[in-house]
Amino acid sequence: MAVQECLVLIKPDGLVKSLTGFILTELAETKLKIIGAKVVSVSKELAELHYAELKQNKPHIFENVLKYIQGEYHTNRVLALIYHGEDAIQKIRDIAGKTNPEEADPTTIRGKFGRIHSKTGVMENVMHASDSEANAKREIQLWFSPDEITEKIYPTKKEKITEEKNVWANNSL
């Protein structure tokens, strides 16, 4: 067994169905460690990069999946988490279940709460979990910067970045 990371996304349908607490409780059974967490409003650019493989493999559904993850059908929020520990990918994917909620074991998250939307054809399957170490690395580096993670899981380098950022207008500290 290898120590791995796995990116978990609680997708917009998971958030509107108030499934966050349930999913976190199920995932806590794995005894894996959360080393990063944030709520994200997903941009088109991030959605396209995250689902780059889907563009090649399933082009017929790509545009609607982009809309789904950006929140066009539910809410424009996704909860992104990084889990870290032994065999993280398999443990989490076992709890998530198969991509197609109709094929997923009914005891899994996707089997319990997912659906295929009759109009869009999108498999609204509540959560995402990385499916390999290589994809976990790619996805984690897409969704998180090194300073947002509590463990040093991949090599980093120092770079001076000057960009405009929003800051608090009335910070009294």
Catalytic annotation, residues: 128
Among 87, 131, 133, 148, binds ligand ADP (CB under 6 A): 131
In the bound state with ligand ADP, the residue whose beta carbon lies nearer, of 34 and 54, is 54
Q: Is 40 in the site for ligand ADP (CB under 6 A)?
A: no
Q: Is 65 in the site for ligand ADP (CB under 6 A)?
A: yes
Helix (H, G, I), strand (E, B) or coil at 27: helix
Q: Is 54 in the site for ligand ADP (CB under 6 A)?
A: yes
Q: Is 38 in the site for ligand ADP (CB under 6 A)?
A: no
In the bound state with ligand ADP, the residue whose beta carbon lies nearer, of 40 and 54, is 54
How many angstroms separate the CA atoms of 16 and 126, rounded? Answer: 10
Which of left, alpha, beta for 128 (phi over 0: left; psi -120 to 50: alpha)? beta
Among 33, 41, 58, 156, binds ligand ADP (CB under 6 A): 58
Do residues 133 and 119 make contact, with C-beta atoms less than 8 angstroms apart?
no
Residues of span 70-129 touching ligand ADP by CB under 6 A: 99, 121-123, 125, 128
Question: Helix 88-96 and helix 133-143: axis angle, to 10°?
Answer: 80
CA distances for 97 relative to 54, 68, 74, angstroms: 19, 19, 21
Contact positions toward ligand ADP, by CB under 6 A?
Answer: 54, 58, 61, 65, 99, 121-123, 125, 128, 131
